[in-house]
Amino acid sequence: MTTEATAEATTEAPAAPREYSWRMPANWWTRNRHYFLYTVREFTALPLALWLLWLLVEIRRAGDGPARYAPHSSTAFVVFSVVVLAFALYHSYTFLTLAGTILHFKVLDRPVPARLIVLSQFAAWAAASVVVAFVLIWFAHE
Amino acid sequence: MDFESYDVLVVGGGLAGIRAAIAAVEANPRVRVGMVSKVYPMRSHTVSAEGGAAAALGPGDSFETHAFDTIKGSDYLADQEVVEAFVREAPVEIIQMEHWGCPWSRNPDGTIAVRPFGGMTTWRTCFAADKTGFHMLHAVFQTSLKYPQITRHDEAFVTKLLVEDSRCVGVVALDIRSGRFDAITAKSVILATGGLGRVYAFTTNGNICTGDGMALAYRAGAGLKDMEMVQFHPTGLPFTGILITEAVRGEGGYLLNKDGERFLKRYVPNKMELGPRDIISRAMTTEFEEGRGFEGPHGKYMHLDVRHLGEKVIDRKLPFMRELGREFLGIDIVTDPIPVRPVQHYMMGGVDANISGETPILGLYAAGECANVGLNGGNRLGSNSLPECLVFGAAAGRAAAHYASSARPVTANPVDAMLWDEARRVEAEYLEKKGGDERIGPIREEMQREMDAGAGVFRTKEGLSRLVRNLGGLRERFEKVRIDDSSRTFNTEIIAALELDFMLEVASVIAFTALAREESRGAHARRDFPERDDEHFLKHTLAFHTNTLAPRLEYSDVHITTFKPQARSY
Amino acid sequence: MPDKTITVRATRFDPERDREPRMQSYEVPFTDESMVVLDALNHVKSHIDGSLSYRWSCRMGICGSCGMMVNGTPKLTCNAFLRDYWPRPVVVQPLNNFPIIRDLVIDMDDFMHKLKSIKPWIIRKQELPLGAGEHRQSNEQIDDFRQFSECINCMLCYAACPVYGLNNEFLGPAATALARRYNLDSRDQGLKERLPVLGEAEGIWECSFVGECSVVCPKGVDPAKAIQQTKLDTTMRFVLPYGNRE
């Protein structure tokens, strides 16, 4: 051991000898089920974004007149769309479930239970979907 | 050579130490305070306190009854003017903790709630559910972060007090992470290092409770007062020694023997489960000896039953107990009784200090469990120790800051030499020693077994004499100890060796002082002297370090002001 | 009869000798069903190899010292029972995402700085004098922040957080939970002083809600909830000029 007196005031312990720094392993997301599901959740945003980009292109083309509007109808694209729909539903589900964690308010001085909040979110989602579907169908009939 | 120098240096980062540091700064904002702790402060053992903190807050309470309960609980070995000052300060400190964010449980009107506790005649124990110590420690530690005058030295182990011309001028500390010895000097030093429960095998105390401050002061020449007074808490979990709070009984829990009988009716008929800890621990031990305890894989035990309280009360008032039962025993205390038996819990004895925390060594102060200011006498009442840390921590902090403002600065030369000597001593005794063949672990375990056997709930001359002899043998073995770890970096084995050195020292003091007190008073129960003997032993024991294991013993008078000693029955 | 043993594989790293951590195996007698991983480490240190270094104290799950990776999961070793691993070996490593000082000891100074940065103390515009007694506070008001006040600073949440593992500038779970603890305390008026630290780029916004911090928390603190709630609060304050309380 060496003997040495501290030279100056510091609010923390004196400098220590070499430490072994943490290095995140590249495969960290495979090491735990939750990490994996989390990574999948984040990854699903990518195809979703691609699909939406495609939709934007379609809309733009539709703006040039009905003749230019030629939606993709290959089997591959339908399959892709269905998969993306599943991803979108999964995202909506995780997002809405989160509301139970995030939102906290009181009615008559009693905290509203998280389950009720989540339930109301899903109800609002369902209601919104019905309204959108109704509007679309109504437009289609015009 | 430069070295760290403060006005006030606090050794220990628990409730008493942090309270002292803040008090010093608030007494004089120009004071520079250092705080050395062998663990990060929030790891300190205050964190394990559960039940609560007593203070005569409410309109139905009075200073007089709190003082009387404390003095009667102490079996009249408390210094009464200290108790009287304590009960007046305790409510102020509880309010101060409230202002610092402690989440005290509340009455419906928003004021601080109180609960009943053992040996207290009225409800006066403030609580934060059943994690009172945890919440107090974190609140006071987090509050301490706002004072730039306080500089922490976390994970540094003090090996020696620097004493120059019979004045304490700092410490030598081993920085655990780097293995470097530092002299940390100060105009005044406050010891707040906590208890010594780890000298026993079966204890509620954490691994860090090794009597460091007591041993440091003892070796520096201060007296240790009433070290024979060791508290055994009635309700520890078998095997682990995890504390089941007295609040369980305060909230209405029953202690039952194997016949399902509330046996305390034979011992403390008027108080039952709310009797003081010393008497209930003796009652349980007696029941065990007479064959009325349960037999389990980890020895005899009793049942602590809260099933009749109902889930709602348990979850509101005792949630941590439910958690401990579930996590460590696999039982639900809502539906199952808790197995418990007496367990070492607290040290009434400690560094001889007065009401301001001053020790006989100039510039050296002590507070909290490591000190004996004369508050607890022969037996501490449950929930008096947390306010003790606050009241006497603050008192020591103020006194130390005051003394520092007029004390002359510390001079470098002798400190330098003392630092080198101490560093050389530790290196020679542990790191560079050749040929030792003893390990730390087995010596420590044997010491703990010997202390359980010889200095437990009941003591005898034979048992204590054997303990004294065996501790002598262990000290000889310790001289031949071998260290596996030669690294300087975070060498926890050398810390364990230094702690064992301290523990053997204080364990011997317990054994010798217990042997010398030939009466039964408070927690000190002698089978061969079952009566209290006010004529010969209404006195404090003072133990001083000598060149042998045996301390030099002196006795000093107990300060009695208002309450004349009378028979102690509940 | 008492021949039942369990293999403990522990990380060893001494910066004075080792370039990088290595694993060492010990055979430990498994004599009691109540034994925890920490008991096994203590047996190693007392009877087999005194040089094994780790932190511990209370062994009742409240001091927060003994957090380590046990078979890959952050745990308090005082509360990880050997019976749940036997007869397979139990692998004990220092907490992920932190620098290793020695063996099973991590460097947590980073957290100590972060803790201080969120000002974890009651901030008042005007201090109540001691003579005025306590602030009135109902048990329901305590319930608002109780969960977040239960944090024992054990660092398991940081070890579980891949965001912190990738970027240790991130304020992280426990520090945010403690900031929220004070922000929700009816006695506190320091929200405005804490928001800048929480709201900055490396504050709460790094969190992408993995949620693992709340899974491993031994005290049910749910730091993930604290972070998401803080995100909403910060946003609302931005969106609504008079949103939220002081």
- Chain A: touching chains (3 or more CB pairs < 8 Å): B, C
> C109-239 adopts what CATH topology?
Fumarate Reductase Iron-sulfur Protein; Chain B, domain 2 (1.10.1060)
Q: Identify the closest residue of chain A to B153 by CA–CA distance.
A: A13
Active site residues of B: 233, 249
The 3-class SS string of C23-92 reads EEEEEEECCCCCCEHHHHHHHHHHHHCCCCCCCCCCCCCCCCCCEEEECCEEEEHHHCEHHHCCCCCEEE
Kindly tell me the burial class for residue B92, based on how many C-beta atoms sit within 10 Å of its own C-beta (0-12, 13-18, 19 or more): middle
Neighbors of chain C with 3 or more C-beta pairs under 8 Å: A, B
pLDDT tops 60 at residue C245: no
Residue B499 belongs to domain spanning: 414-554
The pLDDT value recorded for residue C236 is 80
Contact C228 A98 (CB under 8 A): yes
Minimum CA–CA partner of B445 in chain C: C46
What are phi and psi for residue B416, nearest 5 degrees?
-50, -50
Asked if B326 and B432 sit in the same domain, the reply is no
Residue A14 — very low, low, confident or very high, per pLDDT cuts 50/70/90? very low
* Residue B66 located in a structural domain: no
Model confidence over B39-67: pLDDT tens digits?
999 999 999 999 999 999 988 899 999 99
Give percent of chain C with pLDDT exceeding 90: 87
Name the residue in chain B with its Cα closest to that of C186. B101
pLDDT surpassing 50 at residue B185: yes
Across the interface, of B40, B103, B177, the residue whose CB is closest to C101 is B177
CATH level 2 (architecture), domain C5-106: Roll (3.10)
For residue B567, is it within any domain? no
Mean pLDDT in residue range B3-15: 93
CB contact under 8 A, C72 and A32: yes
Whether B261 is in a domain gets the answer yes
Residue of B nearest to A16 (CA): B178
Question: Would you give the DSSP letter of residue B407?
Answer: S
Asked if residue B109 belongs to a domain, the reply is no
CB contact under 8 A, B4 and A6: yes
Which residues does chain C have within 8 Å of residue A12's beta carbon, measured at their own beta carbons?
A: 109, 112-113
Is the Cβ pair A42, C229 closer than 8 Å?
A: no
* Residue B107 distance to chain C (closest CA, Å): 7
User: Does C100 contact A19 at a Cβ distance shorter than 8 Å?
Assistant: yes
B426 touches chain A (CB under 8 A): yes
* The predicted structure's pLDDT at residue A10: 36
Tokens of residue B89, six digits: 């300060």
Q: Which chain B residue has the Cα nearest residue C55?
A: B492
pLDDT over 70 at B296, yes or no: yes
Mean pLDDT of B183-188: 96
CA distances (Å), B443 to each of B426, B454, C54, in order? 19, 16, 20
Structure tokens at B272: 């039952």
CA distances from B325 to B305, B334, C60 (A): 12, 10, 11
Place of tokens 């290092």: B193
Q: Which residue has the higher pLDDT, A9 or A74?
A: A74
Query: Of how many residues is chain B composed?
Result: 570
Q: How many independent structural domains does chain B possess?
A: 2
Instruction: Give the pLDDT score at A11.
Output: 41
Lowest mean pLDDT among A16-20, B360-364, C17-21, C224-228: A16-20
Cβ–Cβ under 8 Å, residues B250 and B238 = no
| Distance of alpha carbon B377 from alpha carbon B357, whole angstroms | 16
On whether the CB atoms of residues B77 and B540 are closer than 8 A, the answer is yes
Domain of B278, CATH number, reads 3.90.700.10
In chain B, what percentage of residues exceed pLDDT 90? Answer: 95
Residue B70 lies in a domain: no
Q: Is the pLDDT of residue A13 over 60?
A: no
> Mean pLDDT throughout C233-244?
70
CB atoms C60 and B490 under 8 Å: no
Q: What is the CATH number of the domain that holds B531?
A: 1.20.58.100
> What's the whole-number mean pLDDT along residues B476-487?
94
Q: What is the pLDDT of residues A38-76, one digit of tens each?
A: 898 888 889 999 999 988 888 888 888 777 777 777 888
C220 at A interface, C-beta within 8 A: no
Q: What is the pLDDT of residues A84-131, one digit of tens each?
A: 999 988 888 888 887 777 777 777 777 788 888 889 989 999 999 999
Domain edges within chain C? 5-106, 109-239
Q: How far apart are CA B371 and CA A44, in angstroms?
A: 63
Q: What's residue A17's pLDDT?
A: 60
| pLDDT tens track for C34-86 | 999 999 999 999 999 999 999 999 999 999 999 999 999 999 999 999 999 99
Both tokens assigned to C144: 């608002």
Q: Say if the Cβ atoms of A35 and C212 lie within 8 Å.
A: yes
Q: What is the rounded distance in angstroms from the CA atom of residue C38 to the CA atom of residue C42?
A: 6
How distant is the Cα of A46 from the closest Cα of chain C, in angstroms? 16
Residue B34 lies in a domain: no
Judge whether A73 is closer than 8 Å to chain B, CB to CB: no
> Is B239 within a domain?
yes
What pLDDT is stored for residue C241 in this prediction?
61
How high does pLDDT run on average in chain C? Answer: 93
Residue B272, sorted as left (phi over 0), alpha (psi -120 to 50) or beta, turns out to be: left
To the nearest whole Å, the CA of C48 is away from the closest chain B CA by 10
Beta strand extents in chain C (DSSP E only): 5-12, 22-29, 67-70, 73-76, 90-93, 100-102, 105-106
Summarize the confidence of residues B305-324 as an average pLDDT: 95
User: Per the domain annotation, does B502 fall within a domain?
Assistant: yes
Cα B44 from Cα B102, distance rounded (Å): 17
Q: How confident is the model at residue C242 (pLDDT cuts 50, 70, 90)?
A: low
Helix, strand or coil, per DSSP, at residue C22? strand
User: What's the pLDDT score for residue A6?
Assistant: 41
Question: Same structural domain for residues B418 and B550?
Answer: yes
pLDDT for A25 equals 92
CA distance A132 to chain C (A): 27
pLDDT of B189 higher than 90: yes
- Would you call B261 exposed, middle or buried from its count of C-beta atoms within 10 A (0-12, 13-18, 19+)? middle
Residue-level pLDDT at C54: 98
- Choosing from B342, B357, B376, the residue where a domain stops is B342
The 10s digit of each residue's pLDDT in B102-111 is 999 999 999 9
Q: Quick one: average pLDDT of B316-328?
A: 93
**Chain-chain contact of A20 with C228 (C-beta, under 8 angstroms):** no
**Chains contacting B (3+ CB pairs below 8 angstroms):** A, C
